[in-house]
Structure 1
Amino acid sequence: MSFAGATALGIRVEDGVVLAADKRMSYGGFILSRNFKKIFVINDRIGIAFAGLYGDMGGLVRIVEGQMRLASLETGKPATVRNVAKFLSSLLYSYKFFPFNVEAIVGGIDPGGEPKLYVLDPLGSIIEEDYVAAGTGATTAFGLLEHLYKRDMSLEEAKKAAVEALRASMARDAGTGDGIDVLVLPVSGKPSLETIKFRLVEG
């Protein structure tokens, strides 16, 4: 569990990948912001959703973005989702004695058109999954995703499931709330980032 309250999740289906995260920035019981960004677009095919300390998120994203641009220039090939996840994994592991306090979900579409989704813990352990959740509200989100996820669901159904799972986390986790950012990365078409604003979950 991260000290800073947050929940992020990802869902992979045949048509693409959905990443979602709440908008609340809090430490302990104090809310610092109701409009905080936890999803970062690395390029037009790959995104990262974070839960954890906010300074660590920004620092990691800057390093990953720079390294992926450099690698693409050197090789002449676009980065794969696994390239991004593996580099982030190595970076997190290299700081294992003074770890970044984050959990990360890396998702996107490989150059060949295959959707990929990975989750990483603060020490860089990396697992590929069809759906994942991270942060202080992950337990609640996972419980709902277990029920909602189907391999043949559409990308729109995956988006609705992501929002529903995060709303359930907002109802039970004090560190999660104030709206949802949803990044949709389709196999065909352009990515879209949408913000859904609300504070309370109806009981």
Structure 2
Amino acid sequence: MASLMSDTAAHSDALGYSFSKSIPNPTSHSSGPRQHSFYPYTDNGGSTLGITGSTFAILAGDTRSTSGYNINTRHAPKVFRIGADDPSSRIVLSVVGFAADGNALKERLDTIVKMYRYQHGKAMSVKACAQRLSTILYSKRFFPYYVHAILGGMDEDGKGALYSYDPVGSYEREQCRAAGAAASLIMPFLDNQVNYKNQHVPGSGEGHALQQRQVTDLSQDTVQGLVRDAFTSAVERHIEVGDGLQMMIITKEGVQEIFEPLKRD
């Protein structure tokens, strides 16, 4: 028995198996035990964005799911209707990052919205849902959902509402926001075309005397065109974005879902 245990120990030492936290020189067999670690997250690529107008909100995302240079699937939606069983619900959630966490977060929020409907006899407002989503994310702050979430809907005044989040629940209401792998490509485009950054009134002066162009609400057709342009440009420059474009248009009449093709290479 003692001989068997000593043989097993010698074999494990030769393979370098250990649960100790010291880190040896990997080229030396006599430098001591090795550290074994577990990292539960991965980035499954893709991008999402949201833009609001005076009477609508649009959330969109591509449908490609990746792991490194591998494409897991070409049809993995990242935009979901919350409380879809209730015809009066006007809330949509987009999640991008770690797909498993995104699906778990979507299911948890969907359950809460449905329970609210059954308990109170009315649909949860997008403002209340935004606060509840923040609470959900903050409650997991020590082992957070590895996602960038964007929540959209119609507020009490009938205007489009958009809320963006970090992984631990900090959030703010915005007119537009991009997230995911191509966010650094899409967000400057939205800043210019939606928030009118670096746009000035022609003939208003020179240098510091130039007047900033005032932000105005865009029409629904204009915003849909901007969404298509943003993703068409992103797929040309980013390998983790492509295959299909999923767009959800939220109005007082309901939620309309549109799928359009993107580049597949």
TM-score of the aligned structures, taking structure 2 as reference length: 0.71
Q: Is the Cα contact below 8 Å between 2:96 and 2:147 reproduced in 1?
A: yes
Of residues 156, 160, 163, the one that matches 2:225 is 160
Aligned position for 2:15: none
Asked if 1:91 is matched to 2:131, the reply is: no
> Which among 256, 259, 264 is matched to residue 195 of structure 1?
259
Does the CA contact (< 8 Å) of 2:232 and 2:262 recur in 1?
no
2: CA distance, partners of 1:160 / 1:71? 35
> How far does the alpha carbon of each residue in 1:42-67 deviate from its partner, in whole angstroms, 9 at most, with x for none?
14411011111111111111111111
Cα separation, 1, equivalents of 2:101 and 2:59: 19
Give the equivalent residue in structure 2 for 1:132.
177
CA contact (8 A) 2:235 2:262 kept: no
Q: Which stretch of structure 1 is more off in the superposition, 9-18 or 147-156? A: 147-156
Q: CA deviation at 1:111?
A: 4.6
State the partner residue of 2:207: none
Gaps of 5+ in 2: 1-41, 195-214
| Structure 1 contact 25–31 (Cα < 8 Å) conserved | yes
C-alpha separation between the residues in 2 aligned to 1:71 and 1:190?
19
C-alpha distance in structure 2 between counterparts of 1:169 and 1:80, whole Å: 33
Q: Secondary structure at the match of 1:40?
A: strand
Task: After superposition, give the CA deviation of every residue in 1:74-97 in whole Å (9 maximum; x if it has no partner).
Answer: 223321112222212111111111
* Partner residue in 2 for 1:100: 145
> Is the 1:20–1:39 contact (alpha carbons within 8 Å) kept by the matching residues of 2?
yes
- Judge conservation of contact 2:51–2:177 (CA < 8 Å) in 1: yes
Structure in which a larger fraction of residues adopt strand: 1
Specify which of 103, 122, 128 is matched with residue 58 of structure 1. 103
In percent, how many aligned pairs have the same letter? 29
Q: Count the aligned residue pairs.
A: 199
Structure 1: runs of 5 or more not aligned? none
Q: Which runs of 4+ in 1 moved over 3 A?
A: none
Q: Which of the residues 227, 244, 247 maps onto 1:179?
A: 244
CA distance in 1, matches of 2:46, 2:134: 20
Match of 1:8 in 2: 48
How many Å separate the matches in 1 of 2:160 and 2:52? 7
Matched, 1:18 2:58: yes
Structure 1 residue aligned with 2:127: 82
Distance 1:190 1:71, change over 3 A: closer
Note the aligned Cα RMSD (angstroms). Answer: 1.7
Residue pair 1:45, 1:110 contacting (<8 A) in 2 also: no
TM-score, normalisation: structure 1: 0.91
Residues 50 and 178, structure 2, Cα contact 8 Å, conserved in 1? yes
**Range with bigger deviation, 71-80 or 88-97:** 71-80
DSSP 3-state at the match of 1:191: strand
Q: 1:41 aligns with which of 66, 69, 81?
A: 81
Larger Rg computed on CA atoms? 2
- CA deviations on 1:137-170 (whole Å, 9 max, x unpaired) are 1011111112221523111211111121122222
The one-letter code sitting in structure 2 at the alignment partner of 1:32 is: N
In the alignment, the residues of structure 1 paired with residue 166 and residue 242 of structure 2 have an alpha-carbon distance, to the nearest angstrom, of 22
